[in-house]
Amino acid sequence: MEHGFFVAVFIFLTAAVVVVPFAKATGLGTILGYLLAGIIIGPYALRLVTDPDTILRFSEFGVVMMLFLIGLELQPRELWRMKDRLVGLGASQVLATAAVFAAIGSALGLPWQSAVVAGLALALSSTAIVLQILGERSIMQTDTGRSGFAVLLFQDIAVIPILAIIPLLVLPHLSGQIATAEAHDAAAATEPGWLLALRVVVSFAGMYLAGRYVLRPVMRFIASTGVREIFTALALLLVVAAALLMEWLGLSAALGAFMVGVILADSEYRHELESDLEPFKGLLLGLFFISVGMSIEFAVLADKPLLVLALVLGLIVLKFAILYALATLFRLRLADRLLFATLLAQGGEFAFVLLQFALGSGAIEKNLSDLLNVTVALSMTMTPLLLLCFDRFVAPRLGRQPEEPGIPDMGDTHQKVLILGYGRFGQIVARLLHAQGFETTLIDHDPQQIESLKRFDFKVFYGDAGRLDLLEAAGAGEARLIVVTVKDREHSNAICQMIKRHYPQARIYVRAENRNHAFDLIDMGVDGYERDTFRSALYLGTLALIGLGYAPHRAHRVTKAFERHDIEMLEKSVALRSDEEAFMSHVRQSRVELAAVMAADRGEVADERAGIWQTEGDDIDKESRARSE
């Protein structure tokens, strides 16, 4: 049954809404739910959509944006901290797995070129599936999560040279063929491999220079306009432009998006870009998984069921064994080894890209490509089931070991502090904490302020601190402490309520605009607050007293007594502010008490002349006596 584009999208979304929540509720997981939805509506079940290509190209944009967001996370500092896992574990996995599968393919009679392509394609795991599982389980910071991410990252990076190598692996009897319609990524297959490699290098160099010297001024200008939707449009434009450039090169669109993300990883606009694209990525990734479910060639499965079953089991078992062995060499604990190997034992979405590109380049036969495609797709559907078996049968025997963090990463020894708003108030807080060695991340909506701060090596990002997605991207979930210094009372209150609701682990300290704002913050139960000009006004008052002839120590003591009295009055009046009569009575009584305290201080002339400093305890006792008289 053929439908128009919008009808097909309606069917996809309906299948997702119906099947995915059910799969999640029954413990199968969201990814398997998407895959099942694709199988149900696909050409081999209900046949509601018989041409998965109707949506596949559209949904591939989800993978493109996922790689862009991954690239945004890859700051040079983070890459350096991951170098052992990234190069050691990641490179070892790709090379070892590709070598094993290539050797098996050659032993089974495949041409060595096709065996190498098959080995490289099967060595890759599903970034989309594994990262979503790591995120859903909140285990990204465990040994399993960090090791899995390092391997996936190396695999994603390795796709670039692999795509450059494939045109050199053309089968002799296919070297004269033109890329077929099925292989839309093979536009460059007819040109020499070295020329394609040169174009890739030149294009990436151009992207880097443009990102450094063109994109940032453009983003700064757009941010200064304050039109948020245009910034979102710019984020989408960057991803689409990178995808078009890669398609012109005959490469995967996701690679270009990944490179743009890496180029912008140390940009102050990184978190704003990430939070703007996150909703698009999640929905489109879901459509991508549905398309994968639809694209499973059940005709190949029906024609050669035993062969396909053997290939799927062989892929998972051999890959699991290699991953487990490498995890053992890198001294992961038993539970982490098992979970790590289980998570990455499937094929990946980039295998489809590599196989299509290889098919168009003449490096692999179509029947072998179809067989490997269905093998990879079925292995991806097996991952949630394997994980379900791990949770129910393996994890209980290992206790809680898989969920416990491994050895802490020594690069994270600083306690992370998030400072929201960097005006004249927030910058003093940030400088004090920064001087004490605390890692501070700043968020501000003023592009000029951000540009100024970059010169002083502060970690600062552009965006509205009231956006939950931006706080999440900035690391609020891991922050030990969040300081809110935005001036507007209503905006500040909304931010504090959001933090209390979504990040209960973080202590909250807030700039209060005035006494009424302080009342709001006390009601919310923040950990600390400071009125905007209170202490600076007190200090100026102290200087005024000294100018009027008070001894410095007496002026400071009087100011301290006034400060204690004012704070005590404010805290006591919180419960009375809704009763105007009781509140005013309390204010009048407080004024009488303050006058008594100040009068008692003026009676201590002998001590003043003797230059005797009173302790704070003595002052408090004196104030209590003055109030009781």
DSSP letters of 315-335?
HHHHHHHHHHHHHHHTT--HH
What percentage of the chain's residues is helix, strand, coil (to nearest 5)? 70, 5, 25
pLDDT tens-digit readout, 337-350: 999 999 999 998 78
Amino acid, res. 423: G
Distance, CA of 261 to CA of 242 (rounded, Å): 10
First CA to last CA distance, the chain: 93
Domains 63-399 and 414-532 in one fold: no
User: Dihedrals φ, ψ of 461, to 5°?
Assistant: -135, 150
Is 460:444 a contact under the CB 8 Å cutoff? yes
Beta carbons of 230 and 279 less than 8 angstroms apart:
no
- Higher-confidence position of 476 and 581: 476
Segment 441-457, tens digit of pLDDT: 888 877 777 766 666 66
pLDDT of residue 540: 93
Residues in the chain: 629
Percent of all residues in the chain with a pLDDT value above 90, rounded to a whole number: 17
Of 318 and 600, more confident: 318
What is the distance between the alpha carbons of residues 223 and 447, in angstroms, rounded to a whole number? 6
The predicted model gives 467-489 an average pLDDT of: 85
CATH of domain 63-399: 1.20.1530.20
Confidence (pLDDT) at 407: 34
CA distance 337 to 188: 41
C-alpha torsion 584→588→594→598, nearest 10: 150
- Averaged pLDDT, 109-123: 93
Instruction: Band the pLDDT of 124: cuts 50, 70, 90.
Output: very high
CB-CB neighbours of 575 under 10 Å: 14
**Mean of all residue pLDDT scores within the chain:** 78
Q: Which pLDDT band, with edges at 50, 70 and 90, does 483 fall under?
A: very high
Rounded to an integer, the average pLDDT of 385-407 is 68
User: What pLDDT, on the 0 to 100 scale, is given for residue 182?
Assistant: 41
Three-state secondary-structure class, residue 606: helix
State the pLDDT confidence band at 501, using cuts at 50, 70 and 90.
confident
Helix axes 334-343, 127-137, angle to 10 degrees: 140
Higher pLDDT, 615 or 494: 494
Kindly list the domain boundaries of the chain, sorted by start residue: 63-399, 414-532, 538-628
Report the alpha-carbon distance of residue 267 to residue 269 in Å, rounded. Answer: 5
Lowest mean pLDDT across 21-35, 177-191, 228-242: 177-191
Question: Can you give the pLDDT at residue 447?
Answer: 72
Indicate the helix (H) or strand (E) that contains 254. helix 253-263
Backbone angles phi, psi at 296, to 5 degrees: -65, 120
Point out the least confidently predicted range of 217-221, 351-355, 440-444, 448-452.
448-452
Question: Quick one: average pLDDT of 231-240?
Answer: 82
What mean pLDDT do residues 353-378 have? 85
Query: Looking at domain 414-532, which of 3.40.50.720, 3.10.510.20, 3.40.1190.20, 3.40.109.10 is its CATH number?
Result: 3.40.50.720
Residue whose tokens read 């540009």? 451
Contact (Cβ atoms closer than 8 angstroms) between residue 520 and residue 489: yes
* Residue predicted with more confidence, 629 or 269: 269
